[in-house]
Structure 1
Amino acid sequence: MARDSETDDGESTAAERPVHATRGLVEMLLERAAESEPSRENLVLDATPAADFETDLGVDPSTPVLSHVYFPMAGRAVSDVFGVDLGTPAGRGRARFLSHPQGPAELTRRDDLAGVVLLAVPPWEDLLAFDRRGRRLPLTVVDAEPPAESLPE
């Protein structure tokens, strides 16, 4: 029998799994959706653990905060030929951003899904968050910058 915080298949209920994203990422995604209209956007997103931010976000340190995007051009030639996505590091990118320039403000059968999907629709002012089953999730936008990353020397 499932506990109150889980569904019959053991997943947490939507109300208990808010999605967190940085304001910078949210603003960039909305701008990109508006600029690409009438084309649709479909981008892989990645998260940074809350503990890695310099600012205390007021959430559990292990909470993933969406903070990065992987653009589809990276590794495109290999993906087009072999179907292998080299633009997203292994084990990363369990979230996705989609835009629906003509609507609807919900996930459709044509969408690429992920554990979490952020969706934008005109007038490009807000993002909606969904789980892979199309259930709405609460979205919390945090005013924090992810830690700077550098390549090893």
Structure 2
Amino acid sequence: MARESETDDGVAAVERPIHATRGLVEMLLERASEAEPSSVNIVLDTTPAADFEANLDVDPSTPVLSHVYFPMAGRAVNDVFGIDLGTPAGRGRARFLSHPQGPAELTRRDDLAGVVLLAVPPWEDCLAFDRRGRRLPLTVVDAEPPVESLPE
């Protein structure tokens, strides 16, 4: 279900709930806890709801945050040339960030994406935001994404 909110220019915007798998959220919170007092910044990606074996009770085209691209992949090239080889082109339009010392909101120093999941201590849940820092509803689903394998 979508809800309406007002944008900065006074125009009504429709906010769609963000969906994420429980396994992903638990892994992200664990990672944030282990990294404390350092922060975590991870690129996230989605799987269409239709690809899950379980019925998620949402439109089949609904993107569900389900996996990560680890920040170490391609790091040397990124550090030298500013090219992120760890994230396939056109993917990773969401991010997970942790703020070990707070605040529980996006800041100007954060790397932004279309959707940002944010966690703060005590690492019990995530908050969802759009790139403008507006809070979005987050629905955690009990479903495993399909198993992916590399072509031989």
Same fold (TM over 0.5): yes
3-state SS of paired residue (1:21)? strand
CA-to-aligned-CA distance 1:93-137 (integer Å, 9 cap, x gap): 000000000000000000000000000000000100000000000
Task: Give TM-score, length-normalised by structure 1.
Answer: 0.92
Q: What is the deviation of 1:6?
A: 8.1
Q: What is the CA-CA distance between 1:20 and the residue it aligns to?
A: 0.1
> Residues 84 and 60 from structure 1, CA distance in 2 versus in 1: closer, same or farther, beyond 3 angstroms?
same
User: C-alpha deviations, 1:60-99, integer Å up to 9, x for none?
Assistant: 0000000001111000111111100000000000000000
Secondary structure, counterpart of 1:13 in structure 2: strand
1:152 alignment counterpart: 151
Q: Indicate the residue corresponding to 2:80 in structure 1.
A: 81
**Secondary structure, aligned partner of 2:77:** helix
**1:92 corresponding residue in structure 2:** 91
Match of 2:14 in 1: 13
TM-score between both structures, scaled by the size of structure 2: 0.93
Q: Cα offset for 1:150?
A: 0.5
Shift in CA distance, 83/30, structure 1 to aligned 2, threshold 3 Å:
same
Structure with the bigger percentage of strand: 2
| TM-superposed deviation, 1:18 | 0.3
RMSD of aligned alpha carbons: 1.7
Q: Which residue of 2 aligns with 1:58?
A: 57
Letter in 1 for 2:14: T
Q: Residue 60 and residue 9 in structure 1: after superposition, are their counterparts in 2 closer, same or farther (change >3 A)? A: farther
Gaps of 5+ in 1: none
Number of the residue aligned with 2:132: 133
How far the C-alpha of 1:9 sits from its partner, in A, is 9.0
Residue 65 of structure 2 aligns to a residue whose secondary structure is strand
1:72–1:60 distance in 2 versus 1, CA, 3 Å = same
Q: How many residues align?
A: 148
Taking every aligned residue pair, what percent have the same amino acid on both sides?
86
Q: Secondary structure at the match of 2:76?
A: helix
Any idea what SS the aligned residue of 1:130 has?
A: strand
State the Cα distance separating 1:5 from its structure 2 match: 7.8
